[in-house]
Each structure stands twice: as structure tokens, then as C-alpha cells.
A and B are shown apart, each in its own frame.
Chain A
């Protein structure tokens, strides 16, 4: 066999490998789109049929004839569709942020909240709900919660960034700084929750579980905008991120300052996640599990992993939200109870494939 044909074989194998990854990515994205529409159709409490949702969509997009029924349009167009689109973007943002965090910290336990964002946001929301304090003057009610959560979620990140500017920190050290800050804010919000009366505690507790119902056409552009900008910037950095997989020394050898990449990634993901969290509360699971699902199913090519995580996160959250609405439960509950065993199953499968059991 000549040298060329060996190289050719390698090449074609590599290309088929890439094609498979692309296919998985695209598959996930298509699934996400289908899920959005499915959610939009399935989860109404009216007696409309599944296809009504498509009729409403056609009416708004292409000017077709409006479906009958007085509230059909309001329910589908104003309540369900923004929520579904929002779920897709929130899930995508959290998953891609989780993927980035796991890469830059080189830790499988890292998630979008590892820098302490959730604890800061939770503290902000708690003081707004339990004590009626608003950090941004002139706001009250839901917007005070959002503003508080956003402002305070940036505090742990700011502290971490300050540490990074003055010191070359190892990833382990940086995570520990985040955790130290997280414990402090966590303790502070627990104190306020204990001092609050039971109904306020309940409110703060529910906020922490994550919720997608408070999103309409009005505030959706903020979330979608932040997600798109943040994810695009992350995708542009994908090549640098893939160097980070080689470890700090490896990245340095290949001409990339790991410290700088980490700094940029932290800043980007924190801003994106802070926006998302301020509106939706702390939705767990998707940020840590979606990247792992992608890694287990399609390998570790960073470019496709980022894209795949986004798509997988979107699918996961939209599907859980649809189920959550049918069963009238918080979305976090569905995701954990259904997704936890599923994830375990994937892990076992993966083990069996590797060890040829």
C-alpha cells in the first residue's frame, strides 16, 4: 500500500468523523426547532387540537386565515410561543456556558454557576422578595427582583476577575475562590430566608428553582440578544478553547496564554449567564449535564462540542418545559427527575462501549 493511500484513508476517516459530528449537531438543532413547535402545540389547556398551533403560526407569519376560537391567538402567540423560544435560548446559553466552564477549569463538575453567579443572583432576589429592597432606585415588584439579581450576580464574578488581574491563578485555585464567595452569599441569603416569614421564604425558594413563565415578548429580546452575542463570541474563541484542553502548559507551548483565554471566557460567560439568571432564576442540571451528554455521544472536538451543547441544552430545556407545563410542575423538577436517570444510563452505556462488556 502506498503512502498516499494510507494518508488518504486517514483523511477520509477524519472527514467522516467530522461529518458525523456535524450531523449530530444539526440533528440536535432540528430537534430543538421541532421541540419549540411541539411545546407550542402540546401545552395548552384549551380544547384546541395540536395543529391549531401551526395555524396560528401560519396566521402570524404568512397572513393565512386565523383559526377559530376567542383566546386561541392570545394563548398561543402571546403566552406559549415566547416561553418556548425563551426556553430554547436559556437552555442553549446555560449549556454552552457550562461547556466553556468545564473546558477552562478542566473540571467535569464545573457548571455556569461555578463562579458564584447563582449565589449572588439568589441573594439579590432574596432581599428583593423577602425585604422589598431594590438596589436600582425606582424599581419595584418583579423588575426589582430582576435588577437585584443581575447586579449582585456580577459581584462574585468581579471579585474573581480582580483576583485574576493581580495574580496568575491556577484553575483549581480560581474555582476555590469562586466557591469561597459562593458560600458567603449563600449563607447571607439563607439568613434572610430564615428571618423572612414563611410565605416570603416560599417565594424566594420558588425563585431559586427557576421559572420560564415570567417571560413574554417584552423581555425576550434581552435574553435572546445576550445569548446570541455571548454564544457567537464563544464560538469565535472555539479554537483557543480547544488549545485549553491540552492543559495550561500545552496551551502555552502552542502560543496561547491560558490565563488570558480563561479571563476572556469567564467575563463572557458570566455576563451572558447573569442576564439569563436574572430573568429565570437558577435553572440547574442543564448547564452541567448537556455538555457531558454531548461529549459522551459525539466526542470532544471543541468547535462541535460548543455548538452541540447549545443545541442539546435547548432541546433539554424546551422538552422539559413542555412536560413541566403538562404536569404543572417546576421545570427544574422534571429535568432532574427524568434527566438524572437518563444521564446515568448514558454513562453506563458509555462505560460498556469503552470496556466492550
Chain B
């Protein structure tokens, strides 16, 4: 019987007990992350074979490996291999890599946002980045207004520039007003996104039906616009920002305990929050100006991970970084398999993803995990 209460806290008798318990704890999480990594590579291999050509899984893998090794085929002597290589490398590969990079970026961003904003409903777009991007894109699509004469890049350029406006407002607010609470930040983001979406709606109701359709389409989110000529931008942006987020991941556990506890543990709460918000807003701005608004991943992938792994952010961040690509790649593969129906990847993801999400959340496993980990970012109004 413990002094503190009637229920004694179960304690392993020895040091050894603790050690094995901790090892098991880490082992399970590492295994899950390894499983996700393996799933990602298998999906990648399968995904490149979905291209309208008759290809097996190994053909796809070999085409990638051969191309990287610098093997080239003669068009006349080995036409099958030549065209496999051509299609895989030029048409499917950028899109598949794009799915991986975007999925990883959005999921990490969502996981970090949910912790620093201390809200399970937070997602990469909570601070209004997406509303700015949509406004910019609609400006290009509906009014034909672009910065500079850059042709097809007009929409992307506009989306990027205008997505920086909400970012800038938030950065200024957070920078000038020290110690702004997460709730106020969220509300400021809400105000900004309402403002921009109001302006967007204004343009959309004033235009004709055809233009409305195309601007509506831009918002849904699609990977079709990613090619070799632009993927390096997304890649560079995402890798740089993800690296920074990974470095701050160690502070996230402290932050999830609440600002006061984190401060007493020696974490500069305001600085960590500021860094994470800026970095993730920039990353999301880069991603969504090329893809449109891909929802779901940023909000729900981190929750899926937390439900399965528990809320230890040292593992949630890398696991989200792998689960995001798995989901996006899967959805993209399905949307290419159903090419004749023409469903954008954003829609496929919601259709497939939400039942899976509900299953994980409400399944027996989810229940155990949810109740076991009180440190899930608790909603604090």
C-alpha cells in the first residue's frame, strides 16, 4: 500500500525491470517505423508500374535502379525496356516522388502544429496559409493577374506569394507580441483565413461558371502538376524545413506538458513555438502552391500515429513523416488506377482515409492507446 493513495503504482522491482520495459517500449515504436518505411518502398515500387503499361513490380524497380545506375537502352533493340524506362522516369517518377515529399512535409507539419498550438484540431493550414494561396491562385485564374510574365507558372507564383501574406501577419504578430497564447494564435489564423476566403468567394461568385469550375478544381489538391522541372523546389523546401522540425522534436514532449512545465524544464517556449510556426508555414506554402490544398494528411496522419504509438513526439514525428507518404502514395496510386473516372488525389484520400481513420480511432487498439496516453495535446480553451 502506497502512502499516496489506495492504488499502489505498479513498480518493477529492479533496475533490470525498468530497463527491459523501456527496451520493449522503444522496440515496438522502432518496429512500427521500420514497417512504415518498408510499406513506403513497396508502395513506391508498385506505384511506378501503374502507368498504363504492362509492367510487373520488378520491372518497375529495375527501371528505377537501372536509370540511377546509368544504364541506357537502345530504342530499336530493346524497345520494351526503353519505353519502360522512358515512362517510369519521365511520367510517373516525379509524381511518385512528389507524393512522398508532400506527404512527409504535410504530416510532419501537422504533428508539430498540433503540439505547439496545443490543439488536436490544428493542421498545417490552421494559420491561414491555404486561404492566402487559394486567393493568389484565384487571382491568376479568374482575374488573370500574375506577378511578372511567367506563363504557366503564374498560378504557382501567385499562390506562393499570397500564401506568404498570412505567414507574414502571423510572424509579425507572434514576434511583436511576446507570449501570445496558442489560442490567440489560432484565432488570429482563423480571422486571417476568413478574410482571404471571403475575398476568394467574392471573385468566385462574380465569375462565369467555367472559370468557377477551374478555380474550384485548383483547390481540391492534385499531384498532376509536379514534374522534374519543379520537384526540386518542393524537395529542397521540404527537406530543409523538415530537418529543422526534426531538430526541434526533442522539445515537443516538454511543450505538450503545457507552457509552464516546459519553461520549468528549461525550454524557451516562445522561441520553439515561433521557430516551428515559421518553418512549417513556409514549408506548407511551398508545397501547396504546386499541389493545391491536400487536406486530411496534415490533420489525421499524426492522430493515426498517436493512436497506434502513443503521444511520445520523438517517435510521432518520424512515424508521421513516413505515414504521410504512405497515405498520399496509396491515394495517388488508386487515383491513377481509376484514371478514366478522373478523381483528384485529394478526394480519393478522403474517401479511403476517413473510414480507415475511424476504424483506427474506434477500434480496440485505438481505445487502449487513447486512454493510455494522457499526454495527447489536450484541448485547452
- Asked if A170 contacts B370 (CB within 8 A), the reply is yes
In the assembled complex, the Cα of A206 lies from the Cα of B354 at a distance in Å of 26
Q: Given the interface contacts A179-B121, A194-B217, does A201 sit within 8 Å of B379 by beta carbon?
A: no
Partner of B216, one of A193, A284, A336, A343: A193
A64: CB under 8 A from chain B?
no
B186: CB under 8 A from chain A?
yes
A-B contacts besides A107-B121, A183-B295, A183-B350, 19 pairs, CB < 8 Å: A106-B380, A108-B119, A109-B122, A177-B361, A179-B300, A180-B300, A180-B354, A184-B355, A186-B350, A198-B212, A202-B212, A209-B205, A285-B194, A288-B190, A335-B194, A336-B197, A336-B201, A350-B184, A351-B177
**Number of contact residues on B: which range applies?**
35 or more
Secondary structure type dominating chain A contacts: helix
Partner of A176, one of B216, B303, B381: B303
Q: Which residues of A have CB within 8 Å of B191? A: 289, 340-341, 343-344, 347
Chain A contact residues, CB within 8 Å of chain B: 102-103, 105-110, 163, 167, 170-173, 175-177, 179-181, 183-184, 186-188, 190-191, 193-194, 198-199, 201-202, 205-206, 209, 284-285, 288-289, 292, 329-330, 332-337, 339-341, 343-344, 347-348, 350-351, 355, 357
Q: Which residues of A have CB within 8 Å of B346? A: 187, 190
In the assembled complex, the Cα of A193 lies from the Cα of B213 at a distance in Å of 9
- Asked if A181 contacts B354 (CB within 8 A), the reply is yes
Partner of B358, one of A180, A201, A334: A180
Chain B contact residues, CB within 8 Å of chain A: 119-122, 126, 173, 177, 179-180, 183-184, 186-188, 190-195, 197-199, 201-202, 204-205, 209-210, 212-213, 216-217, 220, 295-296, 299-300, 303, 342-344, 346-347, 350-351, 353-355, 357-358, 361-362, 367, 370, 376-381
With both beta carbons as reference points, the residue of chain A lying nearest to B201 in the complex is identified as A333
In the assembled complex, the Cα of A355 lies from the Cα of B180 at a distance in Å of 10
Closest-CB distance, B106 to chain A (whole angstroms): 14
Closest-CB distance, B88 to chain A (whole angstroms): 29
Closest-CB distance, B358 to chain A (whole angstroms): 4
Q: Can you offer 25 A-B residue contacts whose CB atoms are under 8 A?
A: A108-B186, A109-B122, A109-B186, A109-B190, A110-B121, A163-B362, A173-B361, A177-B361, A180-B358, A180-B361, A181-B358, A187-B351, A190-B346, A194-B220, A194-B343, A201-B213, A202-B212, A284-B194, A330-B205, A333-B202, A336-B197, A340-B195, A344-B195, A347-B187, A348-B177
Q: Given the interface contacts A102-B381, A184-B350, A344-B192, does A199 sit within 8 Å of B376 by beta carbon?
A: no
- Asked if B379 contacts A209 (CB within 8 A), the reply is no
Q: Which residues of A have CB within 8 Å of B354? A: 180-181, 183-184, 187
Closest-CB distance, B340 to chain A (whole angstroms): 13
In the assembled complex, the Cα of A110 lies from the Cα of B204 at a distance in Å of 26
Closest-CB distance, A202 to chain B (whole angstroms): 4
Q: Which residues of B have CB within 8 Å of A343? A: 187, 190-191, 194
- Asked if A202 contacts B351 (CB within 8 A), the reply is no
Closest-CB distance, A189 to chain B (whole angstroms): 10
Q: Which residues of B have CB within 8 Å of A289? A: 190-191, 194
Q: Given the interface contacts A109-B190, A172-B120, does A332 sit within 8 Å of B201 by beta carbon?
A: yes
Closest-CB distance, A212 to chain B (whole angstroms): 15
In the assembled complex, the Cα of A284 lies from the Cα of B353 at a distance in Å of 26
With both beta carbons as reference points, the residue of chain A lying nearest to B303 in the complex is identified as A176
Q: Which residues of B have CB within 8 Å of A176? A: 120, 300, 303, 357, 361
Closest-CB distance, B161 to chain A (whole angstroms): 20
Closest-CB distance, B89 to chain A (whole angstroms): 30
Q: Given the interface contacts A172-B376, A176-B120, does A198 sit within 8 Å of B188 by beta carbon?
A: no
